[in-house]
Structure 1
Protein backbone atom coordinates (compact mmCIF):
# COMPACT_ATOMS: atom_id res chain seq x y z
CA UNK A 1 0.00 0.00 0.00
CA UNK A 2 1.32 3.42 -1.00
CA UNK A 3 0.61 5.67 1.97
CA UNK A 4 1.78 8.79 0.15
CA UNK A 5 -1.03 8.43 -2.40
CA UNK A 6 -3.69 7.30 0.08
CA UNK A 7 -6.73 9.60 -0.14
CA UNK A 8 -9.21 8.72 2.59
CA UNK A 9 -11.28 10.17 5.42
CA UNK A 10 -11.60 8.27 8.69
CA UNK A 11 -14.24 8.94 11.33
CA UNK A 12 -13.21 8.30 14.93
CA UNK A 13 -15.16 8.33 18.18
CA UNK A 14 -12.81 9.11 21.07
CA UNK A 15 -13.39 10.86 24.37
CA UNK A 16 -11.03 13.64 25.43
CA UNK A 17 -9.10 11.70 28.07
CA UNK A 18 -8.19 8.97 25.58
CA UNK A 19 -7.46 11.35 22.70
CA UNK A 20 -4.73 13.05 24.72
CA UNK A 21 -2.76 9.78 24.63
CA UNK A 22 -2.10 9.72 20.90
CA UNK A 23 -3.34 12.72 18.93
CA UNK A 24 -0.07 14.70 18.74
CA UNK A 25 2.16 11.90 17.37
CA UNK A 26 -0.65 10.60 15.15
CA UNK A 27 -1.09 13.95 13.40
CA UNK A 28 2.68 14.14 12.89
CA UNK A 29 2.76 10.61 11.47
CA UNK A 30 -0.11 11.32 9.06
CA UNK A 31 1.54 14.51 7.86
CA UNK A 32 4.83 12.70 7.22
CA UNK A 33 3.63 9.33 5.92
CA UNK A 34 0.07 9.73 4.60
CA UNK A 35 -0.67 13.42 3.93
CA UNK A 36 -3.86 12.56 2.03
CA UNK A 37 -5.50 11.01 5.10
CA UNK A 38 -8.16 13.16 6.78
CA UNK A 39 -9.66 12.63 10.22
CA UNK A 40 -13.06 13.49 11.71
CA UNK A 41 -12.85 13.06 15.49
CA UNK A 42 -15.73 13.53 17.91
CA UNK A 43 -16.67 12.24 21.37
CA UNK A 44 -18.98 9.30 21.75
CA UNK A 45 -22.71 9.95 21.66
CA UNK A 46 -25.32 7.71 23.22
CA UNK A 47 -25.40 5.35 20.23
CA UNK A 48 -22.06 3.66 21.00
CA UNK A 49 -21.87 0.44 18.92
CA UNK A 50 -24.60 1.42 16.45
CA UNK A 51 -22.34 3.86 14.60
CA UNK A 52 -19.64 1.21 14.23
CA UNK A 53 -22.15 -1.40 13.07
CA UNK A 54 -23.70 0.97 10.50
CA UNK A 55 -20.29 1.96 9.11
CA UNK A 56 -20.81 5.61 10.04
CA UNK A 57 -17.70 5.38 12.27
CA UNK A 58 -14.43 3.67 11.33
CA UNK A 59 -12.75 3.38 14.72
CA UNK A 60 -13.66 3.92 18.34
CA UNK A 61 -11.83 3.93 21.65
CA UNK A 62 -13.72 3.09 24.81
CA UNK A 63 -13.47 1.64 28.32
CA UNK A 64 -15.32 -1.69 28.14
CA UNK A 65 -15.02 -5.44 28.56
CA UNK A 66 -17.07 -7.01 25.78
CA UNK A 67 -18.60 -6.10 22.41
CA UNK A 68 -21.21 -7.45 19.95
CA UNK A 69 -19.99 -10.33 17.79
CA UNK A 70 -19.36 -8.26 14.65
CA UNK A 71 -17.33 -5.61 16.50
CA UNK A 72 -13.64 -6.39 16.88
CA UNK A 73 -11.79 -5.02 19.89
CA UNK A 74 -8.24 -4.98 21.16
CA UNK A 75 -7.04 -4.07 24.64
CA UNK A 76 -4.60 -1.19 24.24
CA UNK A 77 -3.71 -1.06 27.92
CA UNK A 78 -4.77 0.37 31.25
CA UNK A 79 -4.71 4.06 32.11
CA UNK A 80 -4.47 5.44 35.61
CA UNK A 81 -7.33 7.43 37.05
CA UNK A 82 -6.73 10.34 39.42
CA UNK A 83 -8.36 13.14 41.39
CA UNK A 84 -7.68 16.78 40.44
CA UNK A 85 -8.19 19.47 43.08
CA UNK A 86 -8.04 23.24 42.69
CA UNK A 87 -6.82 25.56 45.43
CA UNK A 88 -10.44 26.44 46.30
CA UNK A 89 -11.17 22.83 47.34
CA UNK A 90 -11.22 22.21 51.13
CA UNK A 91 -8.90 19.18 50.70
CA UNK A 92 -6.35 20.97 48.52
CA UNK A 93 -3.58 20.83 51.13
CA UNK A 94 -3.92 17.06 51.65
CA UNK A 95 -1.76 14.54 49.79
CA UNK A 96 -4.51 11.94 49.74
CA UNK A 97 -8.20 11.74 50.57
CA UNK A 98 -10.69 9.06 51.46
CA UNK A 99 -13.67 8.45 49.22
CA UNK A 100 -16.07 9.84 51.82
CA UNK A 101 -13.96 12.98 52.24
CA UNK A 102 -14.24 13.62 48.50
CA UNK A 103 -17.96 12.87 48.41
CA UNK A 104 -18.58 15.31 51.26
CA UNK A 105 -17.85 18.03 48.68
CA UNK A 106 -18.93 18.60 45.08
CA UNK A 107 -17.49 16.37 42.34
CA UNK A 108 -17.24 16.86 38.57
CA UNK A 109 -16.62 13.99 36.19
CA UNK A 110 -16.50 13.50 32.42
CA UNK A 111 -19.07 11.40 30.59
CA UNK A 112 -17.14 8.13 30.57
CA UNK A 113 -18.77 5.84 28.01
CA UNK A 114 -18.94 2.28 29.20
CA UNK A 115 -21.54 -0.47 29.27
CA UNK A 116 -23.18 -1.96 32.32
CA UNK A 117 -20.88 -4.99 32.20
CA UNK A 118 -17.69 -2.92 32.34
CA UNK A 119 -15.32 -3.10 35.32
CA UNK A 120 -16.05 0.58 35.97
CA UNK A 121 -19.78 -0.12 36.33
CA UNK A 122 -19.12 -3.12 38.56
CA UNK A 123 -16.96 -0.99 40.86
CA UNK A 124 -19.64 1.73 41.00
CA UNK A 125 -22.21 -0.92 41.91
CA UNK A 126 -20.03 -2.29 44.74
CA UNK A 127 -19.49 1.20 46.15
CA UNK A 128 -23.23 1.96 46.07
CA UNK A 129 -23.88 -1.33 47.89
CA UNK A 130 -21.58 -0.05 50.63
CA UNK A 131 -23.71 3.08 50.95
CA UNK A 132 -21.67 5.64 49.01
CA UNK A 133 -23.62 8.34 47.16
CA UNK A 134 -21.78 8.67 43.85
CA UNK A 135 -23.89 11.39 42.23
CA UNK A 136 -21.59 14.09 40.75
CA UNK A 137 -22.60 17.75 40.86
CA UNK A 138 -21.55 18.08 37.21
CA UNK A 139 -21.03 15.65 34.33
CA UNK A 140 -19.66 17.15 31.13
CA UNK A 141 -17.58 16.56 28.01
CA UNK A 142 -16.48 20.20 28.02
CA UNK A 143 -12.93 20.86 29.19
CA UNK A 144 -13.82 24.53 29.66
CA UNK A 145 -16.75 23.69 31.95
CA UNK A 146 -14.60 21.18 33.83
CA UNK A 147 -11.83 23.72 34.32
CA UNK A 148 -14.28 26.27 35.72
CA UNK A 149 -15.71 23.64 38.08
CA UNK A 150 -12.22 22.82 39.40
CA UNK A 151 -11.45 26.52 39.85
CA UNK A 152 -14.64 26.86 41.91
CA UNK A 153 -13.68 24.03 44.25
CA UNK A 154 -15.08 20.84 42.74
CA UNK A 155 -12.97 17.67 42.74
CA UNK A 156 -12.43 16.23 39.26
CA UNK A 157 -12.41 12.47 38.78
CA UNK A 158 -10.60 11.77 35.52
CA UNK A 159 -7.79 9.99 33.68
CA UNK A 160 -4.18 10.82 34.51
CA UNK A 161 -3.69 12.23 31.01
CA UNK A 162 -6.34 14.89 31.64
CA UNK A 163 -4.95 15.48 35.13
CA UNK A 164 -1.53 16.28 33.69
CA UNK A 165 -3.13 18.46 31.01
CA UNK A 166 -4.82 20.49 33.76
CA UNK A 167 -1.47 20.92 35.51
CA UNK A 168 0.09 22.17 32.28
CA UNK A 169 -2.73 24.63 31.53
CA UNK A 170 -3.47 25.90 35.03
CA UNK A 171 0.05 25.76 36.48
CA UNK A 172 2.46 27.02 33.80
CA UNK A 173 6.15 26.73 34.60
CA UNK A 174 7.14 29.06 37.42
CA UNK A 175 3.54 29.82 38.41
CA UNK A 176 2.10 29.30 41.88
CA UNK A 177 0.47 25.87 42.08
CA UNK A 178 -3.28 26.22 41.54
CA UNK A 179 -4.17 22.55 41.04
CA UNK A 180 -2.79 19.28 42.32
CA UNK A 181 -3.27 15.60 41.58
CA UNK A 182 -4.28 13.09 44.25
CA UNK A 183 -4.38 9.30 43.89
CA UNK A 184 -7.66 7.44 43.63
CA UNK A 185 -8.96 6.67 47.16
CA UNK A 186 -7.86 3.35 48.60
CA UNK A 187 -11.47 2.24 49.08
CA UNK A 188 -11.95 2.32 45.29
CA UNK A 189 -8.67 0.55 44.51
CA UNK A 190 -9.49 -2.29 46.91
CA UNK A 191 -12.84 -2.96 45.21
CA UNK A 192 -11.80 -2.38 41.60
CA UNK A 193 -10.61 -5.42 39.64
CA UNK A 194 -8.14 -3.20 37.74
CA UNK A 195 -6.85 -1.48 40.90
CA UNK A 196 -7.99 1.98 39.85
CA UNK A 197 -6.78 1.73 36.27
CA UNK A 198 -9.10 2.11 33.29
CA UNK A 199 -9.03 -0.61 30.58
CA UNK A 200 -8.85 1.06 27.16
CA UNK A 201 -9.99 -0.81 24.03
CA UNK A 202 -9.87 0.14 20.36
CA UNK A 203 -12.94 -0.99 18.37
CA UNK A 204 -13.76 -1.50 14.71
CA UNK A 205 -16.31 -3.39 12.62
CA UNK A 206 -15.12 -6.72 11.23
CA UNK A 207 -15.74 -5.46 7.67
CA UNK A 208 -12.59 -3.33 8.09
CA UNK A 209 -10.45 -6.08 9.57
CA UNK A 210 -8.44 -6.76 6.40
CA UNK A 211 -8.61 -3.22 5.04
CA UNK A 212 -4.92 -2.25 4.75
CA UNK A 213 -5.43 1.50 5.21
CA UNK A 214 -7.68 0.91 8.20
CA UNK A 215 -5.19 -1.53 9.70
CA UNK A 216 -2.38 1.00 9.27
CA UNK A 217 -4.38 3.67 11.13
CA UNK A 218 -5.44 1.48 14.03
CA UNK A 219 -1.92 0.08 14.45
CA UNK A 220 -0.58 3.64 14.52
CA UNK A 221 -3.07 4.58 17.24
CA UNK A 222 -2.31 1.46 19.29
CA UNK A 223 1.44 2.09 19.01
CA UNK A 224 1.21 5.74 20.04
CA UNK A 225 -1.18 5.02 22.91
CA UNK A 226 1.13 2.34 24.29
CA UNK A 227 4.06 4.75 24.03
CA UNK A 228 2.12 7.32 26.05
CA UNK A 229 3.48 8.01 29.56
CA UNK A 230 -0.01 7.47 30.97
CA UNK A 231 -0.67 4.02 29.49
CA UNK A 232 0.27 0.68 31.03
CA UNK A 233 0.47 -1.84 28.14
CA UNK A 234 -1.26 -5.21 28.68
CA UNK A 235 0.96 -7.90 30.15
Structure 2
Protein backbone atom coordinates (compact mmCIF):
# COMPACT_ATOMS: atom_id res chain seq x y z
CA UNK A 1 0.00 0.00 0.00
CA UNK A 2 2.90 2.36 -0.73
CA UNK A 3 0.73 4.59 -2.95
CA UNK A 4 -2.19 4.88 -0.54
CA UNK A 5 -2.56 8.22 1.25
CA UNK A 6 -5.33 8.14 3.85
CA UNK A 7 -5.36 11.95 3.87
CA UNK A 8 -6.98 11.69 0.42
CA UNK A 9 -9.89 9.83 2.01
CA UNK A 10 -10.47 12.69 4.45
CA UNK A 11 -10.26 15.21 1.60
CA UNK A 12 -12.65 13.17 -0.55
CA UNK A 13 -15.12 13.04 2.34
CA UNK A 14 -15.04 16.84 2.61
CA UNK A 15 -15.40 17.36 -1.16
CA UNK A 16 -18.36 14.98 -1.41
CA UNK A 17 -20.08 16.62 1.54
CA UNK A 18 -19.45 20.25 0.52
CA UNK A 19 -19.56 19.75 -3.26
CA UNK A 20 -17.27 22.73 -3.36
CA UNK A 21 -13.50 23.11 -3.47
CA UNK A 22 -13.75 26.31 -1.45
CA UNK A 23 -16.10 24.73 1.12
CA UNK A 24 -13.90 21.62 1.45
CA UNK A 25 -10.79 23.78 1.89
CA UNK A 26 -12.50 25.77 4.64
CA UNK A 27 -13.66 22.55 6.35
CA UNK A 28 -10.14 21.10 6.42
CA UNK A 29 -8.30 24.35 7.11
CA UNK A 30 -6.48 24.33 3.75
CA UNK A 31 -6.01 26.94 1.08
CA UNK A 32 -8.21 26.73 -2.00
CA UNK A 33 -5.18 26.08 -4.21
CA UNK A 34 -4.06 23.20 -1.95
CA UNK A 35 -7.57 21.73 -2.10
CA UNK A 36 -7.56 22.04 -5.88
CA UNK A 37 -4.29 20.11 -6.07
CA UNK A 38 -5.77 17.46 -3.77
CA UNK A 39 -8.79 17.12 -6.08
CA UNK A 40 -6.40 16.54 -8.97
CA UNK A 41 -4.68 13.79 -7.01
CA UNK A 42 -8.05 12.21 -6.20
CA UNK A 43 -9.02 12.25 -9.87
CA UNK A 44 -5.74 10.56 -10.77
CA UNK A 45 -6.16 7.98 -7.99
CA UNK A 46 -9.77 7.08 -8.84
CA UNK A 47 -9.71 7.57 -12.59
CA UNK A 48 -12.87 9.68 -12.33
CA UNK A 49 -13.55 13.44 -12.51
CA UNK A 50 -15.61 13.20 -9.29
CA UNK A 51 -16.81 16.84 -9.38
CA UNK A 52 -17.89 18.65 -12.56
CA UNK A 53 -18.76 22.28 -13.23
CA UNK A 54 -22.48 22.89 -13.71
CA UNK A 55 -22.97 26.60 -14.05
CA UNK A 56 -21.67 28.23 -10.90
CA UNK A 57 -21.78 25.04 -8.86
CA UNK A 58 -20.15 21.63 -8.89
CA UNK A 59 -22.05 18.38 -9.25
CA UNK A 60 -21.02 14.83 -8.49
CA UNK A 61 -20.34 12.30 -11.20
CA UNK A 62 -22.28 9.01 -10.98
CA UNK A 63 -19.19 7.35 -9.48
CA UNK A 64 -18.85 10.15 -6.93
CA UNK A 65 -22.51 9.71 -6.03
CA UNK A 66 -21.77 6.04 -5.38
CA UNK A 67 -18.74 6.94 -3.26
CA UNK A 68 -20.77 9.42 -1.23
CA UNK A 69 -22.61 6.46 0.30
CA UNK A 70 -19.39 4.75 1.42
CA UNK A 71 -16.76 7.40 2.09
CA UNK A 72 -18.29 9.13 5.18
CA UNK A 73 -18.38 5.85 7.12
CA UNK A 74 -14.85 4.93 6.00
CA UNK A 75 -13.53 8.36 7.01
CA UNK A 76 -15.10 8.08 10.46
CA UNK A 77 -13.65 4.60 10.94
CA UNK A 78 -10.18 5.76 9.90
CA UNK A 79 -10.32 8.67 12.34
CA UNK A 80 -11.44 6.30 15.11
CA UNK A 81 -8.68 3.78 14.43
CA UNK A 82 -5.85 6.28 14.05
CA UNK A 83 -6.62 8.58 16.96
CA UNK A 84 -4.81 8.07 20.31
CA UNK A 85 -6.26 5.22 22.37
CA UNK A 86 -8.74 6.17 25.06
CA UNK A 87 -7.04 5.36 28.38
CA UNK A 88 -9.81 6.69 30.58
CA UNK A 89 -11.29 4.33 33.14
CA UNK A 90 -14.56 4.62 35.01
CA UNK A 91 -14.37 2.11 37.84
CA UNK A 92 -17.92 2.63 39.08
CA UNK A 93 -19.31 1.51 35.71
CA UNK A 94 -16.59 -0.99 34.73
CA UNK A 95 -18.14 -4.38 33.93
CA UNK A 96 -15.40 -6.94 33.46
CA UNK A 97 -14.48 -10.44 34.58
CA UNK A 98 -10.78 -10.93 35.32
CA UNK A 99 -9.50 -14.50 35.25
CA UNK A 100 -6.72 -15.04 37.78
CA UNK A 101 -4.59 -18.16 38.15
CA UNK A 102 -3.28 -18.50 41.68
CA UNK A 103 -2.40 -21.11 44.27
CA UNK A 104 -4.85 -22.15 46.95
CA UNK A 105 -2.81 -20.35 49.64
CA UNK A 106 -3.32 -16.97 47.98
CA UNK A 107 -6.99 -17.72 47.36
CA UNK A 108 -7.67 -18.80 50.94
CA UNK A 109 -5.74 -16.01 52.65
CA UNK A 110 -5.96 -13.00 50.31
CA UNK A 111 -8.78 -13.46 47.80
CA UNK A 112 -11.37 -12.27 50.31
CA UNK A 113 -9.49 -9.06 51.09
CA UNK A 114 -8.85 -8.47 47.38
CA UNK A 115 -12.53 -8.96 46.57
CA UNK A 116 -13.64 -6.50 49.24
CA UNK A 117 -11.13 -3.92 48.03
CA UNK A 118 -12.28 -4.32 44.42
CA UNK A 119 -15.96 -4.09 45.35
CA UNK A 120 -15.42 -0.76 47.08
CA UNK A 121 -14.36 0.97 43.85
CA UNK A 122 -15.58 -1.31 41.04
CA UNK A 123 -18.75 -3.09 42.21
CA UNK A 124 -19.48 -4.61 38.79
CA UNK A 125 -16.10 -6.31 38.42
CA UNK A 126 -15.89 -10.08 38.92
CA UNK A 127 -12.74 -11.97 39.92
CA UNK A 128 -12.66 -15.53 38.59
CA UNK A 129 -9.95 -17.67 40.17
CA UNK A 130 -8.95 -20.81 38.29
CA UNK A 131 -6.70 -23.76 39.28
CA UNK A 132 -2.97 -23.55 38.77
CA UNK A 133 -1.85 -27.01 37.66
CA UNK A 134 1.53 -25.85 36.33
CA UNK A 135 3.58 -22.79 35.34
CA UNK A 136 2.92 -22.89 31.60
CA UNK A 137 2.86 -19.39 30.06
CA UNK A 138 0.52 -20.54 27.28
CA UNK A 139 -2.73 -19.35 28.93
CA UNK A 140 -1.19 -15.88 29.48
CA UNK A 141 -0.14 -15.71 25.83
CA UNK A 142 -3.49 -16.98 24.60
CA UNK A 143 -5.48 -14.64 26.83
CA UNK A 144 -7.41 -17.37 28.65
CA UNK A 145 -6.11 -15.93 31.93
CA UNK A 146 -5.48 -12.25 32.65
CA UNK A 147 -3.14 -12.51 35.61
CA UNK A 148 -1.11 -15.17 37.38
CA UNK A 149 0.08 -14.97 40.97
CA UNK A 150 2.92 -17.12 42.23
CA UNK A 151 6.56 -18.01 41.73
CA UNK A 152 7.97 -17.00 38.35
CA UNK A 153 8.88 -20.31 36.73
CA UNK A 154 8.48 -19.57 33.04
CA UNK A 155 11.21 -19.01 30.48
CA UNK A 156 8.89 -17.01 28.21
CA UNK A 157 11.01 -13.89 27.52
CA UNK A 158 8.14 -11.46 26.97
CA UNK A 159 6.24 -12.12 30.20
CA UNK A 160 5.97 -9.18 32.61
CA UNK A 161 6.29 -9.60 36.40
CA UNK A 162 5.92 -7.50 39.54
CA UNK A 163 7.17 -8.74 42.90
CA UNK A 164 4.40 -8.85 45.52
CA UNK A 165 6.13 -10.21 48.65
CA UNK A 166 9.03 -12.27 49.94
CA UNK A 167 8.40 -15.80 51.22
CA UNK A 168 10.24 -18.77 52.70
CA UNK A 169 9.51 -22.35 53.76
CA UNK A 170 8.72 -23.49 57.31
CA UNK A 171 7.68 -26.74 58.92
CA UNK A 172 4.16 -27.21 60.25
CA UNK A 173 2.52 -29.76 62.52
CA UNK A 174 -0.59 -30.07 64.65
CA UNK A 175 -0.71 -28.19 67.95
CA UNK A 176 0.62 -30.51 70.68
CA UNK A 177 2.71 -32.62 68.30
CA UNK A 178 5.54 -34.49 70.10
CA UNK A 179 8.18 -32.89 67.86
CA UNK A 180 7.48 -29.56 69.56
CA UNK A 181 9.05 -30.76 72.83
CA UNK A 182 12.38 -29.69 71.36
CA UNK A 183 13.20 -25.98 71.28
CA UNK A 184 15.04 -26.49 68.00
CA UNK A 185 13.95 -29.43 65.89
CA UNK A 186 16.96 -31.55 64.91
CA UNK A 187 17.14 -33.11 61.46
CA UNK A 188 17.27 -36.59 63.02
CA UNK A 189 14.08 -36.03 64.98
CA UNK A 190 12.43 -34.43 61.98
CA UNK A 191 13.13 -37.54 59.89
CA UNK A 192 11.33 -39.76 62.42
CA UNK A 193 7.92 -38.47 61.37
CA UNK A 194 6.20 -38.94 58.06
CA UNK A 195 5.66 -35.97 55.76
CA UNK A 196 2.78 -34.77 53.61
CA UNK A 197 4.08 -33.46 50.28
CA UNK A 198 2.17 -30.76 48.40
CA UNK A 199 2.88 -31.13 44.68
CA UNK A 200 0.91 -29.82 41.69
CA UNK A 201 2.51 -32.43 39.47
CA UNK A 202 2.12 -35.33 41.91
CA UNK A 203 5.89 -35.74 42.11
CA UNK A 204 6.78 -36.72 45.69
CA UNK A 205 10.49 -35.89 45.80
CA UNK A 206 11.46 -32.40 47.03
CA UNK A 207 14.66 -30.62 48.14
CA UNK A 208 13.88 -31.78 51.67
CA UNK A 209 14.67 -35.36 50.62
CA UNK A 210 18.03 -34.32 49.18
CA UNK A 211 18.89 -32.51 52.41
CA UNK A 212 17.95 -35.57 54.48
CA UNK A 213 19.90 -37.94 52.26
CA UNK A 214 23.01 -35.76 52.58
CA UNK A 215 22.87 -36.62 56.29
CA UNK A 216 22.23 -40.32 55.62
CA UNK A 217 18.53 -40.00 56.53
CA UNK A 218 15.23 -40.78 54.84
CA UNK A 219 11.65 -39.84 55.62
CA UNK A 220 8.39 -41.55 54.80
CA UNK A 221 5.97 -39.71 52.48
CA UNK A 222 2.69 -41.61 52.86
CA UNK A 223 0.59 -39.03 51.01
CA UNK A 224 0.96 -36.47 48.21
CA UNK A 225 -1.67 -33.75 47.76
CA UNK A 226 -2.01 -30.99 45.15
CA UNK A 227 -2.01 -27.94 47.43
CA UNK A 228 -0.41 -26.58 50.59
CA UNK A 229 -3.81 -25.96 52.13
CA UNK A 230 -4.63 -29.66 51.60
CA UNK A 231 -1.43 -30.60 53.40
CA UNK A 232 -2.27 -28.29 56.29
CA UNK A 233 -5.68 -29.91 56.78
CA UNK A 234 -4.16 -33.39 56.86
CA UNK A 235 -1.37 -32.36 59.25
CA UNK A 236 -3.93 -30.90 61.67
CA UNK A 237 -5.54 -34.35 62.00
CA UNK A 238 -2.41 -36.54 62.16
CA UNK A 239 1.17 -36.75 63.42
CA UNK A 240 2.48 -36.07 59.91
CA UNK A 241 4.57 -33.00 59.15
CA UNK A 242 4.49 -30.66 56.16
CA UNK A 243 6.66 -28.02 54.56
CA UNK A 244 4.70 -24.95 53.52
CA UNK A 245 5.35 -21.31 52.62
CA UNK A 246 5.49 -19.03 55.64
CA UNK A 247 2.76 -16.92 54.00
CA UNK A 248 0.30 -19.79 54.50
CA UNK A 249 0.54 -19.39 58.29
CA UNK A 250 -1.37 -16.12 58.16
CA UNK A 251 -0.76 -12.42 57.67
CA UNK A 252 -1.84 -9.01 58.93
CA UNK A 253 -5.21 -9.40 57.20
CA UNK A 254 -5.79 -12.98 58.37
CA UNK A 255 -3.75 -13.27 61.59
CA UNK A 256 -2.93 -16.68 63.05
CA UNK A 257 -4.60 -18.57 60.22
CA UNK A 258 -2.53 -21.64 61.09
CA UNK A 259 -3.36 -21.53 64.82
CA UNK A 260 -7.06 -21.16 64.07
CA UNK A 261 -6.79 -24.38 62.07
CA UNK A 262 -4.99 -26.30 64.82
CA UNK A 263 -1.47 -25.91 63.44
CA UNK A 264 1.86 -24.72 64.76
CA UNK A 265 4.96 -23.87 62.75
CA UNK A 266 8.63 -24.53 63.43
CA UNK A 267 11.90 -23.71 61.73
CA UNK A 268 13.12 -26.45 59.43
CA UNK A 269 16.37 -28.22 60.36
CA UNK A 270 17.68 -27.92 56.80
CA UNK A 271 18.25 -24.79 54.68
CA UNK A 272 15.79 -24.24 51.83
CA UNK A 273 16.00 -21.29 49.43
CA UNK A 274 13.63 -18.38 49.96
CA UNK A 275 11.52 -17.14 47.06
CA UNK A 276 9.25 -14.35 45.89
CA UNK A 277 5.57 -14.30 44.99
CA UNK A 278 4.90 -12.17 41.93
CA UNK A 279 2.12 -10.93 39.69
CA UNK A 280 2.67 -12.25 36.16
CA UNK A 281 0.98 -11.06 32.95
CA UNK A 282 1.40 -10.74 29.19
CA UNK A 283 2.78 -7.44 27.79
CA UNK A 284 -0.26 -6.87 25.58
CA UNK A 285 -2.03 -5.84 28.81
CA UNK A 286 0.70 -3.44 29.96
CA UNK A 287 -1.21 -0.31 28.97
CA UNK A 288 -4.73 -1.59 29.49
CA UNK A 289 -6.13 0.75 32.17
CA UNK A 290 -8.44 -1.84 33.74
CA UNK A 291 -5.66 -4.43 33.98
CA UNK A 292 -3.21 -1.86 35.37
CA UNK A 293 -5.79 -0.99 38.03
CA UNK A 294 -6.23 -4.68 38.94
CA UNK A 295 -2.46 -5.15 39.24
CA UNK A 296 -2.29 -2.17 41.57
CA UNK A 297 -5.09 -3.62 43.72
CA UNK A 298 -3.32 -7.01 43.98
CA UNK A 299 -0.08 -5.26 44.94
CA UNK A 300 -1.80 -3.11 47.57
CA UNK A 301 -3.48 -6.12 49.20
CA UNK A 302 -0.26 -8.15 49.13
CA UNK A 303 1.78 -5.37 50.71
CA UNK A 304 -0.87 -4.79 53.36
CA UNK A 305 -0.81 -8.48 54.25
CA UNK A 306 2.95 -9.03 54.00
CA UNK A 307 4.67 -5.65 54.52
1:30 to partner: Cα distance? 1.4
The 8 Å contact of residues 53 and 70 in structure 1, kept in 2 or not, is answered as: no
* Partner in structure 1 of residue 290 of structure 2: 213
1:151 aligns with 2:228: no
Which of the two has higher C-alpha Rg? 2
Q: Count residues in correspondence.
A: 207
The 8 Å contact of residues 137 and 154 in structure 2, kept in 1 or not, is answered as: no
The SS at the match of 2:181 is coil
* Alpha-carbon spacing, 1:71–1:202, altered in 2? closer, same or farther (3 Å): same
Report the TM-score when normalising by structure 2.
0.59
* Partner in structure 2 of residue 127 of structure 1: 211
1:144 to partner: Cα distance? 5.1
1:133 to partner: Cα distance? 4.7
The SS at the match of 1:217 is helix
The 8 Å contact of residues 197 and 231 in structure 2, kept in 1 or not, is answered as: no
Matches within 5 A, 1:46-57: 46=134, 48-57=136-145
* Partner in structure 2 of residue 160 of structure 1: 246
In structure 1, distance between residues paired with 2:154 and 2:230: 32
* Alpha-carbon spacing, 1:52–1:99, altered in 2? closer, same or farther (3 Å): farther
The 8 Å contact of residues 21 and 225 in structure 1, kept in 2 or not, is answered as: no
* Partner in structure 1 of residue 224 of structure 2: 139
Match of 2:181 among 90, 93, 101: 93
1:41 aligns with 2:132: no
The 8 Å contact of residues 193 and 220 in structure 2, kept in 1 or not, is answered as: no
Deviations 1:4-63 (CA, angstroms, capped at 9, x unpaired): 110001111111223345323211111110011111112311363221121111111122
More strand per residue: 1 or 2?
1
Aligned CA RMSD, in angstroms, stands at: 2.8
More helix per residue: 1 or 2?
2
* Partner in structure 1 of residue 266 of structure 2: 182
- List gaps (5 residues or longer) in structure 2: 1-88, 250-255
The 8 Å contact of residues 14 and 60 in structure 1, kept in 2 or not, is answered as: yes
* Alpha-carbon spacing, 1:153–1:26, altered in 2? closer, same or farther (3 Å): same
* Alpha-carbon spacing, 1:17–1:96, altered in 2? closer, same or farther (3 Å): farther
* Partner in structure 2 of residue 106 of structure 1: 194
* Partner in structure 1 of residue 159 of structure 2: 71
1:88 to partner: Cα distance? 6.6
* Alpha-carbon spacing, 1:137–1:202, altered in 2? closer, same or farther (3 Å): farther
In structure 1, distance between residues paired with 2:162 and 2:200: 18
The 8 Å contact of residues 136 and 154 in structure 2, kept in 1 or not, is answered as: no
The SS at the match of 2:92 is helix
1:145 to partner: Cα distance? 5.9
The 8 Å contact of residues 81 and 159 in structure 1, kept in 2 or not, is answered as: yes
Segment drifting more, 216-225 vs 63-72? 63-72
The SS at the match of 1:92 is helix
1:95 to partner: Cα distance? 3.1
Say which structure, 1 or 2, has more relative contact order (CA 8 Å, 6+ apart).
1
Report the TM-score when normalising by structure 1.
0.75
1:217 to partner: Cα distance? 0.5
* Alpha-carbon spacing, 1:62–1:145, altered in 2? closer, same or farther (3 Å): closer
